[in-house]
Amino acid sequence: MPGNLSARSSGVKGVTDWTDFADYVGARREAWVRAAYLLVGDVHQAEDLVQGTLIRVWPHWRRISAQGDPDAYVRKAIFHQFASFARTRRWRELSDGLRPGTQSAESDTYSGHTARFDAAGAVDTRLQLRETLAALAPRQRAVLVLRYYLDLSEAETASVLGCSIGTVKSQASKALKHLRTLASPGAEPEPTDRPPTKEVKA
Amino acid sequence: MNPAASDDWEDENAARALLQQHVADIHPAPDLIDRVEAGIRQRRRTRRIVLPVTMVTAAACVVALAFAVERTAAPVTHVAQAAQPVIACPNPLPSGWANAGVPATPPVPGAARALLPGVPKAAVSCSTIDPARATALTAQQLSAAVAALAAAPFNSSTSTTVVIPPCEEPAQLERPLYLIFEYPDGTHLTITANAETACDGYGPVSWYANNGQVHTAAFQSSVLDSLAGSAASTASAASVAAR
């Protein structure tokens, strides 16, 4: 917690800056980790994503906080970090592992959070949603999170992702159609833009 | 209301509810800020090490690049002499003695050169030599060349070519052997030996001045014998250099 932080850790910036930063992290960490979880589908990976982003944000904190809207900067940084992560092999492994029919998709990677699911139905829905999200292309997933979890407008979403509003609309529409299969299980899921991954033969 | 729009609206609301529900039980580790702090420290430490190393490496690359450019752009002295092969000598002279790769053909402009051990750099600027025979012939040919230099009427305004027959098994000398000597004042001496040259023990030696005059002299075996050793050649070369 912020109280544990030493003045030394604040580096070249003042203790006030660090306290301010730590307070911000303390207040917003849950929101950011949850958003990151929706992006990557794994709690630990989500925490790593947020942690890595905040480490990169800190050197610019004075300027960011002076501008009065640190959320906008951190949000953009998280999604950029996610875009970088989505190009790595680790992402492919993680994403493939969460897709339907794989062993890790059947088990829960929430680890310490498993005990909190007391209702079997909730767990089923959660697994389904996670598989559904895993089947989405990274950009569709990002649009989904920005538009319907963080409640950004289409213009704001386009600004964060660095794409056009039209792209946001089309990606959101595709993602929603895919999500609709959760509400009506009999329906065939819509094809996504996600490229098929190669099967590795044993 | 447009039914399609209504569907979209319901989809969006359903998506919002689903996503909120999906993460409702996600609680980040309480030590996130400590991990961020540790990460910042680690990043600072890494930068403290990586940055100077990167800068030093970059500086070294710049220096090496500048040196390479300078070497590439260095003027090459083309020494053209009448009735002589045209030799390109490096300027400045390379240091040390090393076979730097030798062409199979007689010296041409830009041909690779090999410096021969045992002769002061001031006396020899560059030479090309048959690599297959270099080891066996170097000392003796060099001695002969030095002897020729010592015996020749030296005129600093002229260059002299001395043709020396190979002194052992000439048939094995498949390619001509050239030794090019450069005096400190810029004049050159080229010594040529090839398989066609008569080799009957220590045969006669001719040397040609680049003014067209032909000088012929009998190189006495005893002279060559006395100069065959590297010590003698070095001494003679030193005396030539002193001239």
Q: What is the pLDDT of residues B211-234, one digit of tens each?
A: 333 333 333 333 333 333 333 333
Structure confidence by residue, pLDDT tens digits, A110-164? 434 433 334 455 566 677 777 778 888 888 889 999 999 999 999 999 999 988 9
For residue B40, pLDDT beyond 80: yes
For residue A181, pLDDT beyond 50: yes
Structure confidence by residue, pLDDT tens digits, B92-114? 333 322 232 222 233 323 222 33
Average pLDDT score over chain B:
50
Structure confidence by residue, pLDDT tens digits, B1-15? 455 555 666 778 888
Cα B228 from Cα B232, distance rounded (Å) = 7
Would you call A129 an interface residue with chain B, using a CB distance cutoff of 8 Å? yes
Q: How far is A162 from chain B (nearest CA, A)?
A: 22
A36 band by pLDDT with thresholds 50, 70 and 90: very high
Tell me what pLDDT residue B26 has. 85
Mean of pLDDT values over B27-50: 86
Q: Residue B78, Cα to own-chain centre: how many angstroms?
A: 17
Cα B3 from Cα A107, distance rounded (Å) = 39
Would you call A55 an interface residue with chain B, using a CB distance cutoff of 8 Å? yes
Structure confidence by residue, pLDDT tens digits, B180-207? 444 444 444 444 443 333 333 333 333 3
Positive/negative CA dihedral, B235, B236, B238, B242: positive
Would you call B36 an interface residue with chain A, using a CB distance cutoff of 8 Å? yes
Comparing CB atoms, the residue among A9, A125, A180 nearest residue B40 is A9
Tell me what pLDDT residue A87 has. 83
Cα→Cα distances A49→A39, A69, A84, Å: 10, 21, 10
B-chain residues near A169 (CB < 8 A): none
Would you call B16 an interface residue with chain A, using a CB distance cutoff of 8 Å? yes
Mean of pLDDT values over B65-77: 66
Which residue did the predictor score with more confidence, B74 or B67? B67
Tell me what pLDDT residue A50 has. 92
Q: How far is B53 from chain A (nearest CA, A)?
A: 22
Average pLDDT score over chain A:
75
A88 band by pLDDT with thresholds 50, 70 and 90: confident
Q: How far is A197 from chain B (nearest CA, A)?
A: 26
Query: What is the ipTM for the molecules in this complex?
Result: 0.71
| Contact call for B18 and A179, based on CB within 8 A | yes
**In sequence order, what DSSP letters do the residues of chain A get, joined into one string?**
-GGG--GGGGTTS-HHHHHHHHHHHHHHHHHHHHHHHHHHS-HHHHHHHHHHHHHHHGGGHHHHHHHT-HHHHHHHHHHHHHHHHTTSHHHHHHHHHHSTTSHHHHS-TTGGGGGG---HHHHHHHHHHHHHHHHS-HHHHHHHIIIIIS---HHHHHHHHTS-HHHHHHHHHHHHHHHHHHHSTTSPPPP-SPPPPPPPP-
Tell me what pLDDT residue A102 has. 52
B-chain residues near A151 (CB < 8 A): 16
